[in-house]
Amino acid sequence: MHRTHRRWPPLVALLADSGVLHLVRPGPFAAIVPRALGDPLPWVYGSGVAELACAAGVLTPRTRRGAALATAALFVAVYPANLQMALAAVRSPTAATGYRVATLVRLPLQLPLVLWALSVRRAAGRP
């Protein structure tokens, strides 16, 4: 199996699962959109559609390289929502300790996701 095939299928699954969840269960995602962005639903639906588009792009050999770069950018773009989620959890008097810890642990995990998408781009080679 070619090197690129080992990297992209799990990334496609992650993006597709997350994209579908954003569209069918927007509530939890809306709760973490920074207030400064206004109405959260367009952001939630937009990010869900973006994740599905990235998944489709990474799935397709002709578009894999560009879509992997778009995926890395998307992972960077959603970081403020992850930060908002962690801040809200830490400030909440009712949030469970495990949830608080999970939201904080998740923050540095965004970097490996970005690097993963970039590795798919590199493995896809030049067009």
pLDDT of residue 5: 56
User: How far, in Å, CA of 29 to CA of 33, rounded?
Assistant: 7
Closest among 14, 31, 119, 117 to 81, alpha carbons compared: 31
Q: In what helix (H) or strand (E) does residue 7 lie, and over which residues does it extend?
A: helix 3-24
pLDDT tens across the length of the chain (127 residues) = 445 457 789 999 999 999 999 999 999 889 888 889 999 999 999 999 999 999 999 999 999 999 999 999 999 999 988 998 999 999 999 999 999 999 999 999 999 999 999 999 999 986 5
pLDDT of residue 126: 67
User: How far, in Å, CA of 111 to CA of 80, rounded?
Assistant: 13
pLDDT of residue 1: 43
User: How far, in Å, CA of 7 to CA of 124, rounded?
Assistant: 10
